Structure 1
Amino acid sequence: MSGAPERAPAPLEGGALALISLALALGTFMQVLDTTIANVSIPTIAGDLGVSANQGTWVITSFAVSNGIAVPLTGWLMRRYGAVRTFVASVLLFTLASFLCGMAWNLSSLIFFRILQGAASGPMIPGSQALLIAIFPPAKRGTALAIWSMTTLVAPICGPILGGYISDNFHWAWIFLINVPVGLLCAAVCWRGLKSRETQTQKIPIDSIGLALLVVWVGALQIMLDTGKDADWFASTEIVVLALVSAIGCIAWVIWEVTEKHPIVDLSLFTNRNFTIGVFASSLAYAIFFGNVVILPLWLQQHLGYTATWAGLVAAPSGVVAVVLSPLAARVMSRLDARWTASFSFLAFAVSYFMRAGLTADATFLDFVMPLLVQGVAMSFFFVALLTIALNGVDPQRIPLASGLNNFIRITAGSFSASLTTTLWDRREALHQSRLAEASSIYDPTMQNALASLHALGVPDAQALAMLARNMQGQAYLLASLDYFWLSGWLVLLLIGTVWFAHRSLSGGHVAGGGD
């Protein structure tokens, strides 16, 4: 132990509070931005490095897996080295890894540097969350969570916009290099403003076996999800082996963690009802949200003719709405039970998804934007409400552990969702295309009229049939997208019921009914 227990430093005020909050928010923004900024740039990166687009997706997966595995280390690192040192070191290492990603000379080097970038950024989200809560007065915890949630949910939307614009107008390396000046500024401001508020440290052993088991089962599961579609899933021996390794590794990891004296992940937090319900609801809702973040740009670019930049711009108004409404969410959360605001957020998400389920192939830019404006309303309340539910009743000393575990599950759920969503989307497209093919025939009058129209334009038979096949594929992907939007809406509506099993929660830190 670094010394006798001391009184916690007084909350910051005025300009110092605003400056440090902005710096911590920038740290969160950078990390979350890098989970999506490469999504729309994969074709460009793959083409420049001379690899296929499927190989290029490892640029996304390598970051997600290493980041998910590193997040649970946050609690141990903060107890061992202090919250401020851990966060600042994480930002600096992330900045260095970002620079190396921009300097990558082939796919292997880029993937290696992305693994380093993901691992280095593990403590950034839970660290910024814990430090924000520490520098705000307890009665204004809702404001702290609003700042944190605003950056966490806006960044995935800004990622495709920035990634698309950079890919269309500059070299793809700049999607990583833009982190360098921001990271240096964030680290400098946070160290200067928070080094005198360092938390106490404690020399505790690291749970190396628990960490190794975590790496094995999360890594195996992510690789299985990413490669399963191309390998025909469980028809492949490799996929079966990965599934068994993941399942056995997960069971062994849980058993080890609940019996280990100093676990890498403190699973005893799940004995708190609010924490369990908050983590479950936020992770599932985030998985649905992230799946939609992945699907919409793909649909727009691959089948509706949008450029990477315009596909990103579709989501821009949603981020603006979230930014504008987040301060209102903070004020509401200080007076209203978080279960009500969580329910409102889920309802708004559902309305957004159901609006998308009514889109057509000839939908305009505005038709795509309107549902995302409603999503922006949902985003402004989402994290504030669910984090308030999850963290209320958790001892202040355990908030970094709780934050790390919450973010580990949420990030992992989002990563898994990205893989599962694209698989589901392609499966539904294949189903709809086969049904459309069964319903059409060369002798069908509609088909004959379409061929006649193309022939009149001078299009030969082979090319005309290819054009009609592409049109059929576009219709199939339209129907597959609508299926996913409907499913998203109903799943989010079901989540409304789950939050009412939690105790009444207010942002000031009180949980009515206890913390069991």
Structure 2
Amino acid sequence: AFTAEEPIVDLRAFTNVNFAFGSLFSFVVGIGLYGLTYLYPVFLGRIRGYDSMMIGEALFVSGLAMFFTAPVAGILSNKIDLRLMMMIGFFGFATGTWWMTHLTADWDFYELLIPQILRGCSMMLCMVPINNIALGTLPPERLKNASGLFNLTRNLGGAVGLAVINTVLIDRNAFHYARLAEHVQWGSAEAQQKLQNMTMNFEQTAGLDATKAAISKLSGMVQQQASLLSFMDVFYMLTVLFATLGLFVLFIRKPADQAGGSGGGH
């Protein structure tokens, strides 16, 4: 791919610094774009117990934010430095995911509103300039092949991101459950008091084994908190990833003609 005169897949575009970094940015944007599209519904379904309709009603804000930010991002891309625009987008996205590291089991539409707006607006501020920066410094004869590789990186980032995010959720959930379970045992006075109070409450329900119901309820509470902590870990991981990416913008060159940047990516 690097030495053949007419390779099937020409990887020489990656020798261009801007294209290499642009592809990296596109890969990570794919992680953020598809990763949060997966995380929010799973959180609302698993922690809040929402059905599909309720999840859609809670998450439509992000799509609206992207819709209204897209034309603004297009205008800004011709007026300000694309690198600055990308940094604003990456740090804005990191701010939104950092906000989500403080989530609780009671978070609903209004608590998720600001993170969703930050996600939608920041995503468009990232995606628009990345295309121009990645493809804007390549020679014309390499644009056709390079644009295909560039588009591939975003989809690849989404696929890899979903796999990693789901793996982290499962592993961290097991870790947190084990740690929390250490404090919810017969030797814990607080756990015994909580179990006793729950048992007394269930005793008022006829035909129910109060002790078993209380133990089951307590186990469910521990599982919920473990799951919640695993979501917080993933959001923290995404925060570090996008904040770091914002710093990497400093290593790329400004395209000679921003207004004439290629639109090969989509």
The answer, yes or no, to whether TM exceeds 0.5 is yes
Residues in 2 aligned to 1:454 and 1:385: alpha-carbon distance in whole angstroms: 58
1:465 shift after superposition? 1.6
Which has the higher relative contact order, 1 or 2, with Cα contacts under 8 A spaced 6 or more apart? 2
Residues in 2 aligned to 1:419 and 1:283: alpha-carbon distance in whole angstroms: 14
1:466 aligns with one of 216, 219, 239 = 216
1:484 shift after superposition? 0.9
SS in 2 for 1:382: helix
SS in 2 for 1:456: coil
Residues in 2 aligned to 1:410 and 1:380: alpha-carbon distance in whole angstroms: 14
Residues in 2 aligned to 1:313 and 1:399: alpha-carbon distance in whole angstroms: 41
The list of structure 1 runs, each at least 4 consecutive aligned residues, that deviate by more than 4 angstroms after superposition, is none
8 A contact 1:283–1:409 mirrored in 2? yes
Residues in 1 aligned to 2:26 and 2:168: alpha-carbon distance in whole angstroms: 22
Residues in 2 aligned to 1:447 and 1:465: alpha-carbon distance in whole angstroms: 7
For 1:76, the equivalent position in structure 2 comes to: none
For 1:450, the equivalent position in structure 2 comes to: 198
For 2:92, the equivalent position in structure 1 comes to: 348
SS in 2 for 1:503: coil
1:381 shift after superposition? 1.1
1:332 aligns with one of 53, 72, 76 = 76
8 A contact 2:23–2:153 mirrored in 1? yes
Residues in 2 aligned to 1:285 and 1:324: alpha-carbon distance in whole angstroms: 19
* 2:39 matches 1:295: yes
Letter in 2 for 1:426: I
Q: Deviation per CA, 1:351-398: give whole Å up to 9, x if none.
A: 110111111101122212321011111022111111111011122343
1:499 aligns with one of 236, 249, 266 = 249
* 2:265 matches 1:265: no
SS in 2 for 1:362: coil
Residues in 2 aligned to 1:432 and 1:454: alpha-carbon distance in whole angstroms: 27
1:435 aligns with one of 149, 154, 179 = 179
For 1:408, the equivalent position in structure 2 comes to: 152
Residues in 1 aligned to 2:8 and 2:96: alpha-carbon distance in whole angstroms: 38
For 2:264, the equivalent position in structure 1 comes to: none
Letter in 1 for 2:234: Y
Letter in 2 for 1:501: F
Residues in 2 aligned to 1:440 and 1:499: alpha-carbon distance in whole angstroms: 47
How high is the TM-score relative to the length of structure 2? 0.89
Letter in 2 for 1:498: F
Paired residues in the alignment total 254
Q: Deviation per CA, 1:320-348: give whole Å up to 9, x if none.
A: 11111211111111121110000000011
Letter in 2 for 1:488: L
1:273 shift after superposition? 0.9
1:490 aligns with one of 210, 230, 240 = 240
Residues in 2 aligned to 1:259 and 1:270: alpha-carbon distance in whole angstroms: 13
How high is the TM-score relative to the length of structure 1? 0.47
* 2:66 matches 1:322: yes
1:411 shift after superposition? 0.8
For 1:239, the equivalent position in structure 2 comes to: none
Q: Deviation per CA, 1:270-312: give whole Å up to 9, x if none.
A: 1111101111122123213322221221121123111112223
8 A contact 1:346–1:496 mirrored in 2? yes
Residues in 2 aligned to 1:397 and 1:315: alpha-carbon distance in whole angstroms: 42
For 2:230, the equivalent position in structure 1 comes to: 480
SS in 2 for 1:448: helix
Residues in 2 aligned to 1:370 and 1:455: alpha-carbon distance in whole angstroms: 42
Letter in 1 for 2:197: N
For 1:231, the equivalent position in structure 2 comes to: none
For 1:308, the equivalent position in structure 2 comes to: 52
